[in-house]
A and B are shown apart, each in its own frame.
Chain A
Amino acid sequence: MSRTLVDSVYIPPETSSFDTMIIWRTISVLFVFGSWEIAGRIPISIAFPTFFETMTALFEMIMDGRLAHAYFETLKPLLVGVGISAGFGVLIGTSMGLYRSVQWLGEPIFIVMQAAPMAALIPLVTFVYGIGLAAKVCAVVILAAPIIVLNSYKAVTNANVSLIQMCASFQGSRVQQIIRVIIPDASPMIFAGLRLGVAAGFIGVILAELLITPTGIGDLITYHRSVAEYADMYAAIFSIILFAAVTIGLLEKAEIAYFRPERKKKKGS
């Protein structure tokens, strides 16, 4: 393709943008894994295995069922914690956006919760909830709930005023305004908050498994570190990063498909 002075700014043809994206993403992944393999072969530390060793350990952990068992343990507090945070979080956040008194009551609490360093609260959590499932669920809720609540609150606060006025002008009741206008208009941002809340939940559950009692993926990391089986340790870390990234990616896709069709259209064009 020849260029002229007029079209000096090169715009790639849109039909090949998807292929180009795949190529660059593949190169990016290969670059990271290649660097990992080289760093492990140097080695940068005797405790740093190569990418190949880590993947071999990951394969072994999948085949002998250790990874499945660990995820079964890790997902319990994660699902319960995210479920509680999502249910109560959306309800509280929406109420904060709708009613000034709830906003005054809740906003300082959730802003402080969001800013508080989670690890510092672990002793308090274990003192109140002990060392079992309840403590881990609490750790997930502490991290996930503020994001979900504050996002829901902001989403409702920023609902389109013109639409609300239009509903009022058509004699819509307050309940109709909320159910038919405010909630649908706020739903993309509420769902974005849920996605971020799930990401925070992953951080919470792993922190809890490392700092309270080692179970699930936290146990695999702690145990293999203590017996110097570093390939297994990195395999467990790699798996949870991959699992979290895939989950968040799928949630983002669902968000685009159901709540932000304009972004889907843009991506597809």
Chain B
Amino acid sequence: MFIRSKMTLLCASAALALGVAMSSGASKAAEMGSMHIAFGDIPGADMLGFMIAAKRAESRGVKLKISFLQSEDLASQAIVSGQADIGVGTPYALIQKVKAPIRMFYQLSKLAFFPIVNTEKYKGWKDLDGQPMYTHARGSGTEAIMNLMAMKNNIKYSAMSYVPGSAVRAGAMLQGRIDATIVDAERRTLLMREGKGKFALLPLPKIDASDEALYANTEFMEKNEEAINILLEELVLTWREINKNPGYVSKARAEYNLLPDMPASDAEGIDPYYAEAVETKIFDDNGGGEKAILGDFEFYDFAGTIKGDTSKLTVEEFWNLAPLNKALDKLGRM
């Protein structure tokens, strides 16, 4: 009797130990495939492409959590401190100046901004000589583009003022508080629609530099190679799908119930936004790669984000292209 009860106790303990071991193993497996992504902006139509890829990666077992922070700087600090795993932005300065242990690994989009003026005041670039200009922030891509164009057109602005956010600058244009600025594609469409012929776009040469890229802590990338590979494969496939058919975003948004609270008027802008983005070729079929990075070096050197001799910079200092190459080896290059 005593021996039987002892055996029962032993079996129960073994079963319990096995259960605990199995459950800890299962949770470890789930942890291996989870990642926390930090955007430095509020959710909008421009993020839908990534959200679709994330949902597709989730269906392949990668657990994803997306947070929206107030700025890209906060997002990058969250990545460096380990509070989030993957960030969205172009943290060249952070990598170069403070040797942050992070690397970019996928180009989400290229810079696509549009200089826009009030035609009652200005007709072309030359008219902006000695006039005030409004851009996103000091050292930003928008400021670099406008300075580049001032240099090319041999003009000088009377002052460069900073108004963060394309939406805010577009609002100021509509209210008549400013007469020349640079905005993103979404606000360009808005201004052209609401301005009723009052605003005009200024010609801009093609600028080949990254606007948004995915980056992560190097240690995280090493430990979560499999999850990152799945995410990259789905990103490449989604980007190719969007480039083939921009209307795919609206359909997938409905399928995955993404941004359900988006107002109907904004939702109507999704298709035109992606059609325009595809037309201006801001989504690369192969995730950017080395060619895109060299374009970044040139542009961000001009912007003052990167310091020193850019000819001496190496791709490996800023990017880890191994996961992308692995995904492209599997999916094929276009």
Give the B-binding residues of A (Cβ under 8 A). 45-47, 126, 130-132, 213-215, 219, 222-223, 225-230
Q: Chain A interface: which of B104-112, B160-168, B186-194, B264-272? A: B160-168
- Taking A45-B81, A47-B77, A225-B73 as contacts, is the C-beta distance between A214 and B98 under 8 angstroms? no
Q: Does the CB pair A228–B93 fall under 8 Å? A: yes
* B139-A226 in contact (CB<8A): yes
Could you tell me the distance in whole angstroms from the C-beta of A42 to the nearest C-beta in chain B? 14
Asked if residues A131 and B140 are in contact (CB atoms below 8 Å), the reply is no
Is B304 within 8 A of A46, CB to CB?
no
CB neighbours (8 Å) of B164 from chain A are 213-214
Checking A126, A130, A227 against B305 with a beta-carbon cut-off of 8 angstroms, the contacting residue is A227
A-B CB contact pairs (8 Å), 19 listed: A45-B77, A45-B80, A47-B98, A126-B168, A130-B175, A130-B177, A131-B163, A131-B168, A132-B177, A213-B161, A213-B163, A214-B162, A214-B164, A215-B161, A215-B162, A219-B138, A226-B72, A227-B97, A228-B91
Q: Given the complex of chains A and B, what is the CA–CA distance between A230 and B97 in angstroms?
A: 9
B161 touches A226 (CB 8 A): no
In contact, A131 and B177 (Cβ under 8 angstroms)? yes
B100 within 8 A of partner (CB): yes
Which residues of B sit under 8 angstroms from A213, Cβ to Cβ?
A: 161-164
User: Does B99 lie at the interface of the complex (its beta carbon under 8 Å from any beta carbon of A)?
Assistant: yes
Within 8 A of A (CB), among B42-90: 72-73, 77, 80-81
Q: B137 touches which one: A130, A131, A222 (CB < 8 A)?
A: A222
Say whether B99 contacts A46, CB under 8 Å: yes
A219 to B139, CA, bound (A): 11
Distance in Å from the Cβ of B95 to the closest Cβ of chain A?
8
Report chain B residues within 8 Å CB of A131: 163, 168, 172, 177
Q: Is the CB of A227 within 8 A of B163?
A: no
Q: Is the CB of B98 within 8 A of A46?
A: yes
Given A47-B77, A213-B164, A228 and B138 contact (CB-CB distance below 8 Å): no
Give Cα A126–Cα B168 distance, bound, in whole angstroms.
Answer: 9
Inter-chain contact A223/B138, CB cutoff 8 Å: yes
A46 & B100 in contact (Cβ 8 Å cutoff)? yes
Please list the residues of chain B having a beta carbon within 8 angstroms of any beta carbon in chain A. 72-73, 77, 80-81, 91, 93-94, 96-100, 137-140, 161-164, 168, 172, 175, 177, 304-305
Residue of A nearest to B95 (CB): A228
Residues of B within 8 A of A132 (CB): 177
Q: How far is the CB of B32 from the nearest CB of chain A, in Å?
A: 26
Check B177 against A226 for contact (C-beta < 8 Å).
Answer: no
* Cross-chain contact A214 with B138 (CB below 8 angstroms): yes
| Cα of A229 to Cα of B73 in the assembled complex, Å | 12
Which of B98, B137, B138, B139 is in CB contact (< 8 Å) with A230? B98
Nearest A residue to B140 via CB reads: A226
Q: Which B residue's beta carbon lies closest to that of A233? A: B73
Task: Please indicate which of the listed interface residues A126, A130, A223, A227 has the most CB atoms of chain B within 10 Å of its own CB.
Answer: A227
Q: If the complex has contacts A46-B99, A130-B172, A131-B177, are A226 and B93 also in contact, measured as CB distance less than 8 A?
A: yes
Chain B residues near A126: list those with CB within 8 A: 168
Residues of A within 8 A of B139 (CB): 223, 226-227
B77 contacts across to A, CB distance below 8 A: 45, 47
User: Could you tell me the distance in whole angstroms from the C-beta of B310 to the nearest C-beta in chain A?
Assistant: 16
| Cα of A227 to Cα of B73 in the assembled complex, Å | 9
Q: Which residues of A contact B172 (CB under 8 A)?
A: 130-131
Q: What is the CA–CA distance of A47 and B140 in the complex, to the nearest angstrom?
A: 20
Asked if residues B304 and A227 are in contact (CB atoms below 8 Å), the reply is yes
Q: How far is the CA of A222 from the CA of B73 in the complex (A)?
A: 9
Contacts of A230 in B (CB 8 A): 98
Closest to B91 in A: A228
Given contacts A219-B162, A226-B139, A228-B97, 6 further A-B contacts (CB under 8 A): A45-B77, A46-B80, A214-B164, A215-B162, A219-B138, A223-B139
Q: Are A226 and B97 in contact (CB under 8 A)?
A: no
Interchain CB contact under 8 A, A214 and B80: no
Residues of the A chain whose Cβ atoms lie less than 8 Å from the Cβ of B140: 226
Given contacts A47-B77, A47-B80, A222-B137, A227 and B93 within 8 Å (CB-CB): yes
Q: How far is the CA of A225 from the CA of B94 in the complex (A)?
A: 9
Assembly CA distance A131 to B138 (angstroms): 16
Closest-by-CB residue of A relative to B102 is: A46
Chain B residues near A219: list those with CB within 8 A.
138, 162
**A132 to B161 CA separation, bound complex (whole angstroms):** 10
By Cβ-Cβ distance, the 8 closest A-B pairs, closest first, are A228-B93, A223-B138, A228-B97, A228-B94, A227-B93, A130-B177, A46-B98, A214-B162
Chain B nearest CB from A35 CB (Å) reads 20
Q: Which of B80, B94, B137 contacts A223 (CB 8 A)?
A: B137
A232 to B77, CA, bound (A): 17
Residues of B within 8 A of A228 (CB): 91, 93-94, 96-98, 100
With A and B bound together, what is the CA distance between A132 and B91 in angstroms? 30
Chain B residues whose C-beta falls within 8 Å of the C-beta of A227 in the assembled complex = 93, 97, 139, 304-305
